[in-house]
Copies of this chain bind each other. A is one copy, B any other.
Amino acid sequence: MFWELLSTDGRARTGIIHTDHGDILTPTFMPVGTQATVKALDSRDIKEAGASVILANTYHLHLRPGEDLVAELGGVHQFMNYSGPMLTDSGGFQVFSLGAQREEKEGAAANKVKIDFDGVNFRSHIDGSEHRFTPEIAIEIQHKIGADIIMNFDICTPDSATFERAREAMVITHAWADRCIEAHKQKGPHAWKQFLFGIIQGANHEQLRRESAEFISSRAFDGIAVGGESIGYNMEMTATTLDWIADILPEDKPRYTMGVGYSPRDIFTVISRGVDMFDCVAPTRVARNGTLYTRANDTLKLNIRNAQFARDTEPIDAWCDCLTCKNYTRAYIHHLFKADELLAFKLASVHNIRFMLKLCEEIRDAISQKRFIEYAASWGSFI
């Protein structure tokens, strides 16, 4: 069995996902290792932070070093020396968001992303070379990379999409979902089992979200993801979206909101709505700018570069038990950032990741003890 439900408290739930690379206790935050490395951390750092599943990125690994090389070297786990469960997204989000970023900077002509019903052409952000993803190609690449959980190839519609445009993208996404399931019947080069998740799209339109939830839920996916620009980025819309589709999602599959975890409080929003998995680049990205999570103030974060921390002998956070908080003072981390030292990135990233994962551990305990609401309230989160 892939997924077991362990306990519920309201709509929040705990569970366990079984993979050939180990079990994943849910709900859990999934640290992002875009290029087969969680930035600044080695695999021991990741494990010690309490991660049970990490992400890698199909788009990035396809461009560099290429899925054939990853396969030849034994798959992504062996490639990056990470023995635990892994997940790859399908590359859809990167193809569209990097195209949109180029459009924003250099005008519409620079957005080289061309969608047709069969697939999408795009340019590499590294060297401008032309590439094409279809559902079949995206699955084949993910087979070669070898993550335990892989994602269907989808079109991630911007929030600004009209109903018609969002509907068109959704219809294509659904057709691609079936093609991904078909393509996944082929076996990849690796010995372990790979599980396929479908992705609900539909932008910010209730009718489309429900239609997409119905469709994805009706198919033989191992798990159900919710994608889209607003998910994680706009937490009010994320909550609304999850409420729209709440009565449709099957109880017996894990649920994954893609891109949630900008702030520790965000995860209460999705867990309270029955979500089991979520990932976000923010904890490590903001860490590299010196923004560190803490319970010491209501914003749940501090900027360690601020002069007030220069002589501060406290750990970043008294509740946190990460390598950084157990061994280093705010004053030292402040110094590392001011002195542009590489160690700053590691100590900051370890902390933000452990902070999220310890929070998930305590949330799992709270759910299993039916005190999730009280626990959420203790974080100033009123669901």
Q: Complex Cα distance A331/B313, Å?
A: 41
A332 to chain B, nearest CB (A): 6
A41 near B73: Cβ-Cβ < 8 Å: no
Selected contact of A39 from candidates B35, B44, B343, CB within 8 Å:
B343
CB-CB < 8 A to A40: which residues of B?
Answer: 342-343, 346
* A329 part of interface (Cβ distance < 8 Å): yes
Q: Complex Cα distance A7/B347, Å?
A: 41
Q: Complex Cα distance A323/B311, Å?
A: 33
In this complex, what residue of B is CB-closest to A327? B81
Segment at the B interface, from A13-21, A205-213, A333-341? A333-341
B311 near A42: Cβ-Cβ < 8 Å: no
Selected contact of A342 from candidates B44, B311, B332, B342, CB within 8 Å:
B342
A311 to chain B, nearest CB (A): 6
A68 to chain B, nearest CB (A): 10
B311 near A69: Cβ-Cβ < 8 Å: yes
Selected contact of A35 from candidates B43, B81, B335, CB within 8 Å:
B335
In this complex, what residue of B is CB-closest to A345? B342
* A80 part of interface (Cβ distance < 8 Å): yes
Interface of A toward B, CB cutoff 8 Å: 35-37, 39-44, 60, 64-65, 69, 72-73, 79-81, 310-311, 313, 323, 327-329, 331-332, 335-336, 338-339, 341-343, 345-347
